[in-house]
Amino acid sequence: MVNRSAETRKPRGHAAAALPSPWRGRQGADARDSKRDAVILAAARAFNNHGYHNTSLDDIADRLGVTKPTLYYYVKNKEQLLFECFRTGLEPIRAAFSDIGQSRQPARERLTVVLLRYAEAIASEFGWCMVRAEDLNLSPELQAHVKALKSEIDQGIRRLIREGIADRSIAPCDPKMTAFALAGALNWIAHWYRDNQALKPADIARAFVDIFNQGLRPRGA
C-alpha cells in the first residue's frame, strides 16, 4: 500500500498546476469517486493534447499533483485508464438511449436526442479517446469491451432509423449505411475541434444534427 502521507506532492510545470486537486482535505467514498473522476479527466486531457503513446502515468500524476503510485488506487495501468476515458465519454450517449426509452415521439425526434448527445460527447475532452481507443493495441479483453460498447451504440442508432422509416418520420434508406454515415461524420469532430474555439460543443452538436435532419426528413415533410 502507498503511504498516505506521500500521496500528494508539489506539481511540476504549468499544466500540472492548472488542475485543482481533489486530494486536499477530502475523505470517504464520495471523495474517492471524485478523485477517480479527476484521474480520468486528467488522462483524457493529456491523451488529447499529446497522444496516448507520448503520455506516461508520471505525466498524469504531475497534472494532478500526486505521486504515480497514487494512480494505482484508481486504475491498474495506462491501458485501463484509456478504456475508462473511452467509457466515460460514451456514458452521455448511453444515457440518451435510456432517456428516450419510454418516449412516444416520432423516431426521428428520438434519434435527434441521441445524435445531439453523441456530438457533444465527441466534442468533449473525451472525444479523442472515444474515437481512437480501438486503434491503440489494447488487450484482447479491453478491445472486446470497446467493440461491444461501440456496437451497442451503432445498433441503437440503426434501430431508431428503422423505427423512423416505419413511422415515416425518416425517409427510406439503408439503416446500416445511414448509421455508419452519421457516426462517421460525428466522430470526425474529434479530429478538428478544440475547446478554445468560439463554437461550444452544444453549438457544434446542433449544427451537425440540423444538417442530418435535413437529409433524413421525408420529401415534402
Tens digits of residue pLDDT in 193-208? 776 667 788 888 888 8
pLDDT digits (tens, 9 = 90+) for 160-190: 999 999 999 999 999 999 999 999 999 998 8
| Boundary-marking domain end, from 41, 71, 101 | 71
- Is 220 a residue whose pLDDT tops 80? no
195 and 156 share one domain: yes
184 and 103 share one domain: yes
Phi and psi based region of residue 168 (left: phi greater than 0; alpha: psi -120 to 50; beta: remaining): left
114 and 164 share one domain: yes
> 9: exposed, middle or buried (C-beta count within 10 Å: 0-12, 13-18, 19+)?
middle
What CATH code is carried by the domain that includes residue 201?
1.10.357.10
Q: Which domain holds residue 10?
A: 4-71
Rounding to the nearest 10 degrees, give the CA dihedral for residues 177, 207, 93, 18: 130
Q: Which residues pair with 66 in a beta bridge?
A: 8
Is 81 part of any domain? no
pLDDT at 58: 95
| Boundary-marking domain end, from 48, 71, 94 | 71
Task: Tally the domains of the chain.
Answer: 2
What CATH code is carried by the domain that includes residue 30?
1.10.10.60
202 and 134 share one domain: yes
- Is 94 a residue whose pLDDT tops 70? yes
9 and 47 share one domain: yes
| Boundary-marking domain end, from 15, 48, 71 | 71
Q: Note the Cα 85 to chain centre separation in Å.
A: 7
Is 130 part of any domain? yes
Residue 108 or residue 10, greater confidence: 108
Cell (9 digits) for 49: 493534447
Read off the pLDDT of each residue in 152-167 and give the average, rounded to a whole number. Answer: 97
pLDDT at 20: 58
pTM strictly above 0.85: no
Residue 148 or residue 19, greater confidence: 148
123 and 18 share one domain: no
pLDDT digits (tens, 9 = 90+) for 12-50: 333 334 455 666 655 555 677 889 999 999 999 999 889
Q: Which of 167, 90, 175, 162 is nearest to 133 (CA)?
A: 90
207 and 147 share one domain: yes
Mean pLDDT over all residues of the chain? 85
pLDDT at 23: 66
122 and 203 share one domain: yes
184 and 139 share one domain: yes
